[in-house]
Amino acid sequence: MKIICIAGLIGSGKDEVAKYISDKYGYEIIDYANILREIVRNEGLEVTRENLQNTRLKYGNTFLAEIVIKKIKESEKQKIILTPMRRSEDYLIPKKEFGSNMQMILVEVSAKVRFKRLSKRGRENDPKDFTTFKKQEKREFEIFNFKKTFSYADFKVNNNGNMNQLRIKIDDVMKKIDKSEPEVLLRQIVHPHSPRKFIIMGPQGSGKGTHAERLAKEMSILHVSSGDLLRDVAQQNTKQGKEIKHLLTTGKLLSDELVFDLLKKRLSKKDASKGYIIDGFPRNIKQTKTLEKTIEIDKVIYLNVSDKECLRRLSGRTQCEKCKAIYGNENQPKIKGKCDQCGGSLYVREDDKESVIKTRLKVYHDQTEPILDLYRKNGKLVEIKINGIKQPDEVFTDILKALGM
Ligand code: AMP
């Protein structure tokens, strides 16, 4: 969940910024000014600058923010723009609720440029000369504590130039916002009853592991990979460990009972109580039936990728020995052979060697693919078609969208 607050003085171009982010990045705009206008209209008043300011003063400093919080919680979208930030309460009250999900962009423009733009805009209340403009601005400073509000900005964007220059700067900020990881997950506040038990399916190399990990982080649930569970056992110096180690190099499926036992054990641990996303199980119809008897799965995410693309991706794949992070042609580690996240050593999995991959894909088509129809029929399948080369970020956005998040 991301909430981007937009702040700026009159004539700074806040609306353009909001619209650009909304159009390009799919954010829903919640506009303080529109909410206030609606209230003024409901009171039977004309929507003038004076009436807006008076109504705001009449109801106190917090009531608009409370309406906004309600609207955010009711919104289906997980990406929201909150604009314009005027009083510090407009920012601080939702911030209390949504924590680091909220970030603020301050749009900065010189007084001269702002006046020039406003005088061209030609709205009834817009100033006709620089003195009136300055007076209006002074009055706004008296009513709203801009200085304090703006001091909370996480990003500053200068908008003295043209729209193209502005877009480049916003794109830059958006990259940083996309990367930031909120500690408070609004999804849990907003959709407390949303599905929490997922399966992710797709051929080897479809990006299951990567997206399962990301989705798990986003929703504060557990990512369980049956392959990782097996590889953990394979590392043990026991008879079973050695047996599994050998079987894994063949690319064939291991015993249904063994894998299901490992999975059940893992899912009974405390960190699975908030929900989980299972990656690698079920892999055939029998496993599906066994799973259905024990667990009520909410949604099955299916990453539909062609064999050709999977083979291309798997040929460059490495995995971290320690934290199991996956690297590939598109996301190389910063230091060759070292994991970006934990510094662990990266290795090519025995079953990622080309001949084994071909067996694994065959097993997938023969045994795993038929499961998709079962989930399609019971309405649980959420299919993500990945045609050609798509950036992982794009795919992830598609997944969230398809899940209605
Ligand atoms: P993965 O990392 O999910 O591709 O799994 C690696 C290997 O573990 C597979 O090629 C299988 O040999 C084995 N494996 C993983 N999950 C299962 C499962 N559900 N049933 C049987 N074998 C599995």
Ligand 1 centroid to Cα of residue 254, in Å, is 7
**Exposure on the CB side of residue 263, measured as CA atoms within 13 A:** 26
For residue 19, the tally of other CB atoms under 10 A from its CB is 15
Q: Would the CB of 201 count as within 6 Å of ligand 1?
A: no
- Beta-carbon contacts of 222 under 8 Å, excluding residues fewer than 6 positions away, are 216, 271, 272, 274, 275, 276, 277
| Whether 104 contacts 6, CB under 8 Å | yes
Which among 208, 266, 324, 390 is annotated as catalytic? 208
Per-residue model confidence as pLDDT tens for the chain (405 residues): 899 999 999 889 999 999 999 999 999 999 999 999 999 999 999 998 889 888 888 887 788 999 999 999 888 778 999 999 988 889 999 998 888 889 999 999 999 999 998 888 777 777 888 998 998 888 888 777 888 899 889 999 999 999 999 999 999 999 888 776 554 344 433 344 444 899 999 999 899 999 999 999 888 889 999 999 999 999 999 999 999 999 998 888 999 999 999 999 999 998 888 899 999 999 999 999 999 988 989 899 999 999 988 888 888 889 999 998 889 877 889 999 999 989 999 998 888 888 888 899 999 999 999 999 999 998 899 999 998 777 888 899 899 888 877
- Taking the C-alpha atoms of residue 333 and residue 81, their distance in angstroms, rounded to an integer, is 33
Which among 87, 95, 360, 390 is annotated as catalytic? 360
Q: Would the CB of 202 count as within 6 Å of ligand 1?
A: no
The residue whose CA has the least distance to atom 5 of ligand 1 is 227
Q: Is 214 a catalytic residue?
A: no
Return the closest-CA partner of residue 10 out of 40, 55, 53.
Answer: 53
Instruction: Please report the pLDDT score of residue 192 as a whole number.
Output: 41
The residue whose CA has the least distance to atom 19 of ligand 1 is 281
Ligand 1 centroid to Cα of residue 229, in Å, is 9
| Whether 46 contacts 110, CB under 8 Å | no
Handedness of CA 160, 164, 169, 170 (dihedral sign): positive
Q: Would the CB of 351 count as within 6 Å of ligand 1?
A: yes
Q: Which atom of ligand 1 is nearest to the CA of 252?
A: 12
SS3 327: strand
Q: Domains along the chain?
A: 2-185 (3.40.50.300), 193-402 (3.40.50.300)
The residue whose CA has the least distance to atom 8 of ligand 1 is 227
Ligand 1 centroid to Cα of residue 119, in Å, is 67
Which among 87, 214, 266, 317 is annotated as catalytic? 317
Instruction: Please report the pLDDT score of residue 191 as a whole number.
Output: 40
Ligand 1 centroid to Cα of residue 259, in Å, is 8
Q: Is 349 a catalytic residue?
A: yes
Q: Would the CB of 226 count as within 6 Å of ligand 1?
A: yes
Q: Would the CB of 283 count as within 6 Å of ligand 1?
A: yes
Token match 């929507």: residue?
47
DSSP string, 165-209: HHHHHHHHHHHHHHH---SS-HHHHH-TTS--EEEEE--TTSSHH
Whether pTM exceeds 0.85: no
Q: Is 49 a catalytic residue?
A: no
Q: Would the CB of 368 count as within 6 Å of ligand 1?
A: no
Q: In Å, how far are 193, 280, 291 from 275, measured between CA atoms?
A: 11, 16, 15
Instruction: Please report the pLDDT score of residue 49 as a whole number.
Output: 82
